[in-house]
């Protein structure tokens, strides 16, 4: 079986029509996009995730910096400890921190406040697992709580005498756990290719009348003692991060001659362990400064005796300097040293672009949904993540309304936050992988979908992402047709609990501006979710997501059951799949 979705969309000429259903009071989809739902309380109070670990700490003066606020390094130590306990609870053996995704600190924490940290395993792979971490702050006097940050850390199991430990799978029990389980595969994909896009973003910049970068260089050494290590005599990852934050803060202070505030830590990886007795050499320098922020690069290396230095970790931290009104101050420019200094300077510019792309594309709220984000190779990874994640989030919804059913084809609708959502479901006797390949190439869509007048492949970005221009016919005499620039992102399942996915969304390309012959339309989210029920039976789910009620006139007769155009299209798609189920032409687009 399968589900299909039409990319109906509104253009600027469309006007909002009346509501189809009364808006429900479900949490905003924007919370899901912002991943604030990481630890939303489930209604089943008796259920508690078996990997969940909670830590609460009151912030004492010994934990604070010069401003009377919790040191970021101390917070990182607590976060790492909590996440490690969650990972070990699931693995049943010792675990070490492999990497941590970007961390954005939304608020500082004053002395006297309580820090609450919750960590739980979202998904386990072969020998690594993703642990979600949520940090909130609590005011004991007012009983008020607010979010400070969330993070995703990857932990790996230690090799035992019996060899490498293979982790048991996480079984999601609730809707939120299923969502995080599904998105964890997308985040893992981003981690694996994160470093590859840096080289595409290097650019030059002028740096006259600037502070020499060498002035900000800091080097410090720490001796790893038993209090710094875990039960396996390896240095706590959080302790290393705390030491790194300390030298980075000193480097940032030397540029601005003030006390900086840490805002962001970029994704980083631990390259190797350190142990009790190691000397940790920590080096930091300001790589680049922008108008209101600066990037500090930090490196941690370890040695014992006369042995050579071992690279433990590198990180990039972004600092701001706040004035008396807590507004960012303008910072001095940096003049990099030759060769390595210039390389770090340019890479900092690339990383800043990545941070802005991630923040804009991945962390927007419902009211800030980015429409037709400009596509280029540097943000492809994040647009692809956003595209697939939006479709996956739809799969976690459980408040669909069955509107009609005909010939075993079911049409579901949902109205929420001034948006209409559609889901159509049916089965076909075609293997899931073949269905996936046949529907992946949008150039073949016009063979069964009359709404696709013409399809042209613009760019085969890689095996998983393709850009198309789709033209649709006019809906009334004398009106113009619509065209769309679509990013199609494909995903094969990671395991049996994942579907095949084909996600579609609009992007903009300078090479393909709107033309006078067509009205440029928007596809916010659409696609196919293809589930395999057996070797020969497929269930395909297609969603139309986040359409304004302006599309209602086009489909109202179908919803009311007065028209069968939906079912005609699905029947045509079923015949198309059946007719091509043994075709060797059902290849991925990159092979065509």
Whether the domain at 2-28+380-591 and the domain at 202-363 fall into the same CATH topology: no
Q: Is the pLDDT of residue 62 over 70?
A: yes
Contacts of residue 183, defined as CB under 8 A and 6 or more positions apart, other chains included, come to 35, 122, 389, 392, 393
Radius of gyration in angstroms for the set of CA atoms belonging to the chain, rounded to a whole number? 26
Contacts of residue 560, defined as CB under 8 A and 6 or more positions apart, other chains included, come to none
CATH class of 202-363: alpha beta
Tell me what pLDDT residue 588 has.
46
Please tell me the distance from the alpha carbon of residue 174 to that of residue 155, in angstroms, as a whole number.
23
Nearest by Cα to 264 from 359, 386, 385: 359
Residues 151-179: pLDDT tens digits? 999 999 887 666 678 899 999 988 888 88
Tell me what pLDDT residue 544 has.
62
Tell me what pLDDT residue 585 has.
55
| Percent of the chain residues topping a pLDDT of 90 | 38
- Whole-angstrom CA distances from 201 to 338, 352, 354, 378 are 19, 10, 9, 7
Q: At what angle do helices 565-579 and 432-440 cross, to 10 degrees?
A: 110
Strand pairing category for 538-547 and 53-58: unpaired
Give me the CATH topology for the region 2-28+380-591: Alpha-D-Glucose-1,6-Bisphosphate; Chain A, domain 4 (3.30.530)
In 27-174, which ranges are continuous DSSP H helix? 29-33, 72-91
Nearest by Cα to 172 from 495, 563, 517: 495
**pLDDT confidence tier of residue 558, bands split at 50, 70 and 90:** low
| Percent of the chain residues topping a pLDDT of 70 | 80
Contacts of residue 327, defined as CB under 8 A and 6 or more positions apart, other chains included, come to none
**pLDDT confidence tier of residue 39, bands split at 50, 70 and 90:** very low
**pLDDT confidence tier of residue 478, bands split at 50, 70 and 90:** confident
Please tell me the distance from the alpha carbon of residue 4 to that of residue 108, in angstroms, as a whole number.
46
Mean pLDDT of the chain: 81
Please tell me the distance from the alpha carbon of residue 74 to that of residue 138, in angstroms, as a whole number.
17
Q: Is the pLDDT of residue 13 over 80?
A: no
Give me the CATH topology for the region 35-193: Thiol Ester Dehydrase; Chain A (3.10.129)
Domain ranges (residues) in the chain: 2-28+380-591, 35-193, 202-363
For residues 449-477, average pLDDT: 89
Give the end-to-end CA distance of the chain in Å, rounded to a whole number. Answer: 25
Tell me what pLDDT residue 209 has.
57
Q: Is the pLDDT of residue 34 over 80?
A: no
**pLDDT confidence tier of residue 545, bands split at 50, 70 and 90:** low
Please tell me the distance from the alpha carbon of residue 124 to that of residue 102, in angstroms, as a whole number.
20
């Amino acid at each position: 079986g399968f589900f299909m979705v039409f990319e109906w969309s509104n253009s600027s000429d469309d006007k909002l029509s009346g509501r189809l259903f009364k808006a429900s009071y479900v949490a905003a989809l924007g919370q899901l996009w912002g991943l604030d739902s990481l630890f939303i309380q489930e209604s089943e109070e008796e259920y508690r995730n078996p990997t969940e670990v909670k830590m609460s700490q009151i912030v004492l003066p010994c934990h604070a910096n010069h401003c009377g606020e919790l040191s970021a390094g101390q917070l990182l130590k607590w976060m790492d400890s909590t996440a490690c306990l969650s990972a070990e609870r699931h693995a049943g053996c010792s675990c070490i921190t492999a990497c941590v995704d970007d961390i954005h600190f939304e608020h500082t924490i004053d002395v006297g406040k309580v820090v609450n940290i919750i960590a739980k395993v979202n998904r386990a792979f072969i020998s690594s697992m993703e642990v979600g971490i949520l940090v909130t702050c609590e005011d004991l006097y007012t009983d008020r709580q607010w979010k400070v940050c969330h993070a995703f850390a990857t932990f790996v199991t230690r090799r035992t005498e019996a060899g490498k430990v293979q982790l048991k799978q996480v079984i999601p029990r609730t809707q939120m756990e299923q969502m995080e389980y599904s998105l964890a595969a997308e985040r893992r994909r981003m981690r694996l290719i994160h470093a590859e896009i840096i080289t595409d973003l290097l650019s030059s910049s002028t740096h006259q009348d600037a502070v020499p970068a060498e002035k900000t260089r800091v080097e410090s050494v720490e001796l790893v003692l038993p209090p710094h290590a875990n039960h396996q005599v390896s240095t706590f990852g959080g302790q290393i991060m705390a030491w790194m934050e300390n030298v980075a803060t000193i480097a940032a202070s030397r540029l601005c001659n003030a006390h900086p505030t840490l805002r962001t830590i970029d994704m980083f990886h631990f390259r190797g362990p350190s142990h009790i007795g190691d000397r940790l050499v920590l080096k930091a320098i300001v790589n680049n400064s922008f108008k209101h922020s600066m990037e500090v690069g930090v490196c941690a290396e370890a040695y014992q005796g006369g042995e050579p230095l071992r690279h433990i970790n590198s990180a990039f931290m972004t600092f701001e300097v706040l004035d008396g009104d807590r507004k960012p101050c303008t910072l001095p420019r940096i003049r990099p040293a030759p060769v390595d200094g210039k390389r770090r300077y340019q890479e900092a510019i690339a990383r800043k672009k990545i941070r802005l792309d991630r923040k804009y594309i991945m962390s927007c709220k419902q009211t800030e949904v980015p429409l037709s984000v400009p596509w280029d190779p540097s943000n492809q990874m994040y647009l692809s993540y956003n595209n697939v994640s939006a479709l996956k989030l739809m799969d976690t919804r459980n408040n669909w309304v069955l509107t009609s059913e005909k010939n075993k084809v079911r049409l579901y609708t949902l109205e929420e936050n001034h948006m209409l959502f559609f889901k159509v479901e049916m089965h076909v006797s075609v293997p899931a992988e073949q269905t996936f390949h046949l529907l992946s190439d949008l150039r073949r869509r016009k063979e069964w979908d009359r709404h696709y007048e013409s399809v042209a492949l613009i760019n085969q970005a890689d095996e998983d992402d393709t850009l198309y221009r789709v033209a649709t016919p006019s809906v009334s005499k004398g009106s113009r047709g619509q065209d769309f620039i679509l990013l199609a992102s494909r995903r094969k399942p990671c395991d049996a609990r994942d579907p095949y996915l084909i996600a579609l969304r609009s992007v903009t390309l300078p090479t393909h501006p709107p033309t006078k012959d067509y009205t440029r339309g928007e596809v916010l989210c659409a696609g196919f979710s293809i589930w395999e029920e057996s070797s020969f039976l497929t269930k395909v789910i297609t969603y139309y997501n986040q359409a304004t009620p302006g599309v209602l006139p086009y489909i109202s007769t179908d919803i009311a059951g007065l028209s069968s155009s939906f079912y005609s299209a699905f029947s045509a798609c079923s015949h198309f799949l059946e007719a091509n189920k043994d075709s060797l032409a059902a290849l991925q687009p990159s092979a065509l």
